């Protein structure tokens, strides 16, 4: 795809990667990649992703057609609830919610489709049927919509915080309280497009937690989210000095993770409660710990 276009008035003064993201409808990370590989330019001057778009600039976009390998299928991903409107999977670690730039592993959406599960046509391209997500490194329950009616209603329920999402997390150290709430705004960290942080400019974020068991050097907690920000649990617990065990991105101790046999953050989506989009019946789905998380808890108990 090749095209020339005057810089839109609404994007004058914006960073070039932000402008390209808006013009193409892609993520900022993808836009930065397009700029850095020379597929987006401004005629007559040299631009980096951080350069400012000026009035009178003409943007030249010439995208290289990408060749895609077939997506691998997560055959070991259990379906724990399914009807004509929704499907709830128990997502294993290492599976993304949907396809994204740079990800070549299996996805929830792609695996369901390849296993013959029909999904809603509503949603952004490549994300149809997806109304909530889990990080690649987080396991547990994730709901996907099969019907368009379900997509519309479940998106509303998630946006209105009517869905009850319960996670279990293992955090470093011994939490002083038995239960508490963390309320702090979360936004993208300036040092990285992939990290998030507490910042006054961020979006309001609220996390409630209760202690399940204390191991001395770590504490197992039950977590309920009022909001669903990216990396919310990881960022919030790191901000109070108790990062998730196995999460070096947000301050987790790699020595402790190694001793417990963890190669990812100890975080699992345990329980999902929602009002069925068609029948309006309150529906609850529960999960169990996967083997690596259970092993880490056993190792802690043995050490204590």
| 52 vs 66, residue with greater confidence | 52
Q: How far is CA 54 from the centre of its chain?
A: 34
Could you identify the residue written with the tokens 């997560």? 74
Residues 6 or more apart whose CB falls under 8 angstroms from that of 296 comprise: 170, 245, 246, 260, 261, 262, 266
pLDDT in tens, 183-213: 999 998 887 667 899 999 999 999 999 999 9
Asked if pLDDT for residue 304 goes beyond 70, the answer is no
Q: How confident is the model at residue 256 (pLDDT cuts 50, 70, 90)?
A: very high
Can you list the domains of the chain with their CATH numbers?
2-62 (3.10.290.10), 161-303 (3.30.2350.10)
Q: How confident is the model at residue 303 (pLDDT cuts 50, 70, 90)?
A: confident
pTM, to two decimals: 0.78
pLDDT of the residue at 286: 98
Answer whether 47's CB lies under 8 Å from 31's CB: no
pLDDT in tens, 67-80: 567 889 999 999 99
pLDDT of the residue at 296: 97
pLDDT of the residue at 194: 78
Average pLDDT over residues 14-32: 89
Q: Could you say which of 62, 84, 85, 135 is catalytic?
A: 135
Average pLDDT over residues 237-257: 97
pLDDT of the residue at 283: 98
Asked if pLDDT for residue 27 goes beyond 80, the answer is yes
pLDDT in tens, 153-187: 999 999 999 999 999 999 999 999 999 999 999 99
> How far lies 50's CA from each of 7, 8, 196, in Å?
16, 17, 19
pLDDT of the residue at 90: 98
pLDDT of the residue at 62: 86
Average pLDDT over residues 230-241: 96
pLDDT of the residue at 282: 98
Q: How confident is the model at residue 103 (pLDDT cuts 50, 70, 90)?
A: confident
Rounded to the nearest integer, the mean pLDDT of the chain is: 93
Answer whether 197's CB lies under 8 Å from 189's CB: yes
- Determine whether 135 is an active site residue: yes
Asked if pLDDT for residue 114 goes beyond 60, the answer is yes
Average pLDDT over residues 128-135: 94
pLDDT of the residue at 66: 62
Angle, to 10 degrees, between the axis of helix 28-36 and the axis of helix 16-24? Answer: 110
Integer Cα distance of 91 and 114 in angstroms: 16
Average pLDDT over residues 130-135: 94
Average pLDDT over residues 16-21: 91
Asked if pLDDT for residue 58 goes beyond 80, the answer is yes
- For 35-40, the CB contacts below 8 A with 24+ separation are 37/64, 39/63, 39/64, 40/16
């Amino acid at each position: 795809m090749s095209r020339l276009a005057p810089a839109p008035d609404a994007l004058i003064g914006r960073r070039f990667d932000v402008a390209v993201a808006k013009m193409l409808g892609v993520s900022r990370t993808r836009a930065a990649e397009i700029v850095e590989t020379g597929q987006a330019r401004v005629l007559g001057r040299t631009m980096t992703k951080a350069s400012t778009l000026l009035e009178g600039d003409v943007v030249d976009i010439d995208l290289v057609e990408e060749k895609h390998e077939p997506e691998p299928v997560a055959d070991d991903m259990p379906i724990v609830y399914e009807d004509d409107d929704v499907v709830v999977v128990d997502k294993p670690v290492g599976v993304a919610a949907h396809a994204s730039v740079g990800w070549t592993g299996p996805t929830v959406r792609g695996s369901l489709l390849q296993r013959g599960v029909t999904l809603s046509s509503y949603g952004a391209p490549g994300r149809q049927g997806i109304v909530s997500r889990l990080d690649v490194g987080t396991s547990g329950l994730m709901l996907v919509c099969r019907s368009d009616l379900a997509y519309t209603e479940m998106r509303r329920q998630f946006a209105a915080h009517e869905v009850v999402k319960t996670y279990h997390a293992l955090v470093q150290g011994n939490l002083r309280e038995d239960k508490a709430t963390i309320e702090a705004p979360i936004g993208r960290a300036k040092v990285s497009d992939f990290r998030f942080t507490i910042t006054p400019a961020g979006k309001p974020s609220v996390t409630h937690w209760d202690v399940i068991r204390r191991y001395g050097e770590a504490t197992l907690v039950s977590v309920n989210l009022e909001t669903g920000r990216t990396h919310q649990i990881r960022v919030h617990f790191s901000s109070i000095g108790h990062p998730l065990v196995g999460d070096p991105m947000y301050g987790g101790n790699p020595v402790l993770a190694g001793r417990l046999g963890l190669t990812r953050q100890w975080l699992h989506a345990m329980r999902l409660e929602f009002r069925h989009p068609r029948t309006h019946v309150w529906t609850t789905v529960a999960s169990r710990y996967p083997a690596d998380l259970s092993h880490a808890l056993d190792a802690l108990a043995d050490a204590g």
